[in-house]
Amino acid sequence: MIAVLVLSLLGATLALPPKEGGNHWAVVVAGSNGWGNYRHQADACHAYQILHRNGIPDDRIIVMMYDDIANNEENPTPGIIINRPNGTDMYKGVPKDYNSEDVTPENFLNVLKGNKEAMAGIGSGKVLQSGPEDNVFVFFTDHGAPNLIAFPESELHAKDMMDALQYMHDNNMYKNLVFYLEACESGSMFHRHLPDNINIFATSAANPHESSYACYFDEKRETYLGDLYSVRWMEDSDTEDLKKETLQRQFKIVRRETNTSHVREYGDMSMKNMTLLQFQGGRVDVPLTPLPPYPQFDAVPAPEVKLAVLKHRMKVARTDEERSEVTDLIKQEFADRQMIRDTVETIVQKAVQDQDQADRVLRDRTRDLTAHDCYKRAVSHFRRRCFLFNVVRYEHALRHLYTLVNLCEEGVSVDR
């Protein structure tokens, strides 16, 4: 079977098996919530539509997303989600396997590991039931930070995700697995973590130390409709012949057209000549989807989305009252950022022994993480006691988690 995990399911069509037998499976996950994060669920819905259209049946696609966008009171087109300006509805037909409070790292890992017992009574209960002849496709989109990806109320660390992927390999849950990851610092989830000998090929929207980018600002919805890396791979899959295009060709196209961050590849490079059809669907008769020339991407770093939206609102404000309201929101955003920055600096100053060490911890954004247990405890404490970075107001705190990496690598005890 080819397992494609997509946490955004739509319909059911007949798929041909991948080469040499087996089935396709998919898991699609959008890990955020809130109108300001519209783009993540739009990405997930679009991914589902590609997999569904290309013949992967809904019982082999697993979709996980909060599902608070389509019928959000801020949505000017209720029940509709689009992923590009003037685009078609991506929401119709998407299965609701796991939504709301079911969007958690624990549930995601149990879905990957095929743990039906753990998922009994939760959402649809669907988990990967793939086997040694199946190919699996996983797409995840959300916020990230060094060595973690965010969920609505917690986070998933790189080591825990790698342990799940290793479990899948050791228990013959796939023949080949492809993982596409959209998040800031997404490369850190694979860099020096993903082995090159367990038949997994992964690409990330950014390298281990930089932001990914949002794109397609929509004046009507006052939000960004997509993420640049995600939009580029999906619009490529929409318009290319999946039985001819290889993973390597799609990677090169996405890397070239995602020119605001450094798209990276990891894992088993011998898989790069496999075709997209072997992971994103099995139908060979799917007509290509013509798309109008894509508009200028107006890409912005994901951490700057909130401020960019407010600046757009200021440009179109018609009254002094509207301008005053937006001005206050911008001031609040800058005040929150300064508060986060000051708090982090205070934590560092109290934790280290001298100013040279403090400067090093605050300055170095490129250190690799080896002290995983320390970092996991530190992040949990920071989220619970300082800033709930899963909510829109404090998302910018994610940009400072590199200091916790540095503190742990410096040998500073979490208890301090």
Residues labelled as active-site residues: 143, 184
The DSSP code for 52 is H
The DSSP code for 294 is P
What token pair was written down for 321?
């009252």
Closest CA to 250 of 272, 267, 271: 272
What token pair was written down for 106?
């624990």
Phi first, then psi, for residue 301 (nearest 5°) are -55, 140
Closest CA to 23 of 279, 202, 270, 224: 279
Angle at 251 between CA 114 and CA 83, to 5 degrees: 75
What token pair was written down for 217?
């600002």
Radius of gyration of the chain (CA): 21
Q: What does the alpha-carbon distance between residue 41 and residue 175 come to, in Å, rounded to a whole number? A: 28
Three-class SS state of 37: helix
Distances (CA, A) of 391 to 42, 55, 64, 103, 128: 19, 36, 18, 14, 30
Burial 116-128 (b: 16+ CB within 10 A, else e): eebbeebbbebbb
Q: What does the alpha-carbon distance between residue 384 and residue 371 come to, in Å, rounded to a whole number? A: 20
End-to-end CA distance of the chain: 49
Closest CA to 37 of 229, 183, 185, 253: 183
Q: Which residues contact 385 (CB under 8 A, 6 or more apart)?
A: none
What token pair was written down for 115?
């743990």
Q: What does the alpha-carbon distance between residue 221 and residue 291 come to, in Å, rounded to a whole number? A: 21
Tell me the sheet residues that pair with 267. Answer: 201
Neighbours of 108 (CB within 10 A): 27
